[in-house]
Chains A and B, each alone.
Chain A
Amino acid sequence: MRMEGDKMIDQNLLANMMTELRRGTLSLAVLSQLHTPQYGYSLLKCLEEKGIQIEANTLYPLMRRLETQGLLENSWDTTSARPRKYYVLSDAGREIFEALKLEWQSTCDGINRLFGEEGQ
């Protein structure tokens, strides 16, 4: 428990809720960066640089899952010294991404309106 003036914030609870908040946006974030092929680690670095917090043990299984769902296509690059599995958006992935992007924007507008009403 951390004291902040009169308020005590339960850090554990806050951390959990923040993870929950981020979880909803992960698929969207991942899809947005796969217009060009990337492999696990490159995508991880890319997202980190852009300020998206995501853990390796969440990202890697997520990429597999999106591929199972038909949104990504994979290919193994065996040319370089280290073989790597590259993922890129499939046609279905591209369509779904556009739809999700619209949904995200409308959700954002909705939330912002709520904030506006509260005078925040």
Chain B
Amino acid sequence: MKNLIDRYLYDVTKRLPENMRDDVNRELRSNIEDMLSNDPNEAEIEKVLIDMGSPAKLAVKYHPKPRYLISPELFDDYLTVLKIVAITLSVLLAGLAVFKIVFGDIGGEYAIATAISIIVSFLTAAFTGIVQAFFWVTLAFFCVEYFGKKNGVITWSPKNLPELPANAKVVIKSSDTIANGVFSTFFTILFLAGTLRHPQFIAWYEVGAPTVPLFNEEIIRQFLPFYMFIIVLTLFLMFFKLVKGRWSVGIAAAQTIFSVFSAVLGVAIITRPGLFTDAFIARFAEKVQVSAETMTEYFSTGVTVLIVLTVVGAIGEIISAIRKTVKNYK
């Protein structure tokens, strides 16, 4: 019978710092025994223990330190930072993982198997990114909590007040930013995988004839470092936009640099002679019953159109960024 009380006391004191365990044990035991008759039966003991309440809750009242990891005042900031870092990190790691596949010629000839392995590593890496973000952000906030409170670092002052939320026209919607970042990264990687892997998936498929790839692998490979750079820039820009949430001179400048760089890259690639494989042009010409030269001319016209679209698109992005920034400062 005594056992119930012993076990209760153990459950309470095991949650307390070592230096107070013995004393609390003695004190609480004598308090509980005072509430019982001289030779209590089990039912009586149980009733008193139930009145005392759950050991976990009681231990919280005895414990000298507050029982939470992240304090309520820091919690909102914690969630915000967590969201941004988790998204950025998972996109980054997912991109890297897929790159590894593009570089290494793992897997066999089957396009479907390769595609599945790309998707699986994308998802796994994205998940890893989220888990890592959780760990590091939580650790960082715990440190701020612990060391900051010790040294009284967390003081608020009117100087630290945030800017007013912008009106709708000037806010950068985070869902747009994220969708944009994720999709452009994903499609760039898919494009690179499709052109650099063996067998290449971006190609002309025809039953009974060998698959003819569209892009010249050599040329794409030469541009690979630029593509990697663009992906990194995309992620940086996405991160900036998420953190700031509104247009500013800094973000407009970053957007301009990015748009210019990707337009230049796009134009440089498109105008490279020999970008499209001769085999593809020949096959296409055959099917449409024109000569290879005529087809090449059509391709050139197409390229010119693409150049115009790319440049116009970039200019449009830049003008839009500038206008929104100006509105912000009004």
**Interface residues, chain A, with chain B CB atoms under 8 Å away:** 39-42, 55-58, 60-62, 64, 68, 76, 82-85
The 4 closest A-B pairs by CB, nearest first: A41-B34, A61-B61, A40-B31, A57-B53
The answer to whether A56 and B51 touch (CB under 8 A), given A41-B31, A85-B26, is: yes
Q: Chain A residues with Cβ under 8 A from B34's Cβ? A: 39-42, 82, 84
Given contacts A56-B51, A84-B30, A85-B30, contact A41 B62 (CB under 8 A): no
Complex interface: chain A residues within 8 A of B58 (CB): 57, 61
Given the complex of chains A and B, what is the CA–CA distance between A41 and B29 in angstroms?
11
Q: Closest Cβ of chain A: how far from B48's Cβ, in Å?
A: 9
Q: Number of contacting residues on B, CB 8 A?
A: 17
Q: Which of A64, A68, A83 has the most CB of B within 10 A?
A: A64
The answer to whether A39 and B30 touch across the interface, beta carbons within 8 angstroms, is: yes
12 contacts between A and B (CB under 8 A): A55-B51, A55-B53, A57-B53, A57-B58, A58-B61, A61-B58, A62-B61, A64-B27, A64-B62, A76-B26, A84-B30, A85-B26
B58 CB to nearest A CB, Å: 5
**Chain A contacts of B64 at CB under 8 A?**
68
> From residue B5, how far is it (CB to closest CB) to chain A in Å?
13
Q: Flag B41-75 by CB within 8 Å of A: 1 or 0 each.
A: 00000000001110001100110100000000000
In whole angstroms, what is the CA distance A84 to B23 when docked? 11
Q: Are B28 and A60 in contact (CB under 8 A)?
A: yes
Please report the C-alpha to C-alpha distance between residue A51 and residue B168 in the assembled complex, in whole angstroms: 59
* B35 and A56 contacting across the interface, CB-CB below 8 Å: yes
- Complex: how many Å from CA A79 to CA B34? 16
Residue of A whose beta carbon sits closest to that of B28: A60
CB of A63, distance to nearest CB on chain B (Å): 9
Contacts of B31 in A (CB 8 A): 39-41, 56, 60
Task: Check: B33 CB closer than 8 A to any chain A CB.
Answer: yes
Give the residue name and chain of the A residue nearest to B51 (CB): A56
